[in-house]
Amino acid sequence: MSNIFPKAAITGHPVAHSRSPLIHGYWLKKHGLAGEYGRVDVAPETAEAFYRNFSASGLIGANVTVPHKETAAASCDWLDEAARTMGAANTLWLDESGKLCGANTDGLGFLGNLDQLSPDWDNAPGTALVLGAGGAARAIVWALLSRKFTTVHIVNRTQEKAQRIADEFGSKTIAHGWEKLGKLLEEADLLVNTTSLGMTGKPPLEIDLAPLPTTALVTDIVYVPLETDLLKNAAARGNPTVDGLGMLLHQAVPGFERWFGVRPEVDDTLRALILEDLGVSA
Ligand code: ATR
């Protein structure tokens, strides 16, 4: 068995456009490691069986993307705190006894990106304002609470979805509709867009940033375009900004370390490689 390369893959449906093979392939090459990282398209009707019998796949671990993160989590024998809290796993590995373990690294990816590009961003964690209430928003709210933000406001078009996240995370998280945005901007130390608005091909994110203190850090999980209108407008009025590409790159770090035994770095060459593949200019 020892001559067989450890193999991992991105699993989900679809997976054809996933950048994960490029990210892990870059790190495998950089570290001169014998390993492979591929793509496995898991049709929805076979997902439960696939994750339940994961050891039969020949993979030592995997990333999981939509729409299977919940199914994967439900199939795991062990989950880390983030995956347990979210009921969704994006990183899987088999332990020594063959048990399937799952983690959710989306929140860590968010934190890793800000830690790298805006050191000290959470030195005095205050009030965060999160736009959107999908899966990414949940991971980010979890991440912000882990860094001791005192209040996390969640603003969403469908307020009930924001309320569901707030109910889950407790009294520091408060749900609102869009009409409250102006008032909430006044007290924000951090503004995060987790909606798909502003992405190429989607409607614009139209926000009047005037009430936002110019000291507030503004970040976007959209990375196509790399500099969204939100980031452009924020930078033009003097706010510090961080783009969303690093979240994608940093969420991949824990899986690579698990599977291949080296903790990889998110470096400029990797950023440039992914940007080139996305056809996005830095
Ligand atoms: P993910 O799981 O990747 O975060 P998602 O669940 O599709 O993605 O969430 C997308 C987010 O963008 C949601 O908060 C969505 O708002 P709703 O919950 O009201 O659907 C938000 N969004 C998408 N299109 C929007 C639009 N045109 N106006 C306002 N919000 C929008």
Residue nearest to atom 26 of ligand 1 (CA): 197
Q: Judge whether 208 lies within some domain.
A: yes
131, 211: one domain: yes
Tell me what pLDDT residue 4 has.
78
Cα of 36 to ligand 1 centre, how many Å? 34
Q: Judge whether 116 lies within some domain.
A: yes
Q: Judge whether 2 lies within some domain.
A: no
The CATH number of the domain holding residue 135 is 3.40.50.720
Q: Which residues of the chain fall below pLDDT 50?
A: 1-2
Nearest to 230 by CA among 214, 218, 247: 218
Number of domains within the chain: 2
φ, ψ dihedrals at 93, nearest 5°:
-155, 155
The reply to whether 148 belongs to the active site is: no
Tell me what pLDDT residue 2 has.
46
Domain containing residue 20: 7-105+252-278
Q: Judge whether 45 lies within some domain.
A: yes
260, 210: one domain: no
Tell me what pLDDT residue 282 has.
64
33, 84: one domain: yes
- Please tell me the distance from the alpha carbon of residue 223 to that of residue 211, in angstroms, as a whole number: 25
Q: Judge whether 214 lies within some domain.
A: yes
Tell me what pLDDT residue 280 has.
80
Check if 196 has its Cβ closer than 6 Å to any atom of ligand 1: yes
DSSP alpha helix (H) spans, the chain: 20-30, 47-52, 69-75, 81-86, 106-117, 135-146, 159-169, 181-186, 229-236, 245-250, 253-260, 268-278
16, 61: one domain: yes
Burial of 246 (0-12, 13-18, 19+ CB in 10 A): buried
Residue nearest to atom 12 of ligand 1 (CA): 195
Q: Judge whether 1 lies within some domain.
A: no
Q: Judge whether 13 lies within some domain.
A: yes
98, 114: one domain: no
201, 160: one domain: yes
DSSP 3-state of 260: helix
Ligand 1 pocket: which of 138, 196, 222 to mutate (most atoms <8 Å of CB)?
Answer: 196
118, 72: one domain: no
The answer to whether the beta carbons of residues 222 and 193 sit under 8 Å apart is yes
Eight-state DSSP code of residue 209 = -
115, 223: one domain: yes
Ligand 1 pocket: which of 18, 90, 142, 157 to mutate (most atoms <8 Å of CB)?
Answer: 157
The CATH number of the domain holding residue 81 is 3.40.50.10860
198, 260: one domain: no
234, 214: one domain: yes
Check if 164 has its Cβ closer than 6 Å to any atom of ligand 1: no
146, 239: one domain: yes
Residue 147 makes CB contacts below 8 A (sequence gap 6+) with 111, 122, 125
Strands of 127-131's sheet, edge to edge?
A: 173-176, 151-155, 127-131, 190-193, 217-220, 241-242
The pLDDT tens digits for 172-227 are 999 999 999 999 999 999 999 999 999 999 999 999 999 999 999 999 999 999 99
85, 15: one domain: yes
- Please tell me the distance from the alpha carbon of residue 110 to that of residue 81, in angstroms, as a whole number: 16
pTM above 0.85, yes or no: yes
Check if 70 has its Cβ closer than 6 Å to any atom of ligand 1: no
Q: Which amino acid is at 270?
A: L
Choosing from 30, 69, 161, 183, which is the catalytic residue?
69
Q: Judge whether 31 lies within some domain.
A: yes
What is the three-state SS of 22-52?
HHHHHHHHHCCCCCEEEEEECCHHHHHHHHH
Tell me what pLDDT residue 9 has.
98
Q: Which residue has the tokens 């990106």?
A: 113
The answer to whether the beta carbons of residues 256 and 27 sit under 8 Å apart is yes
DSSP 3-state of 152: strand
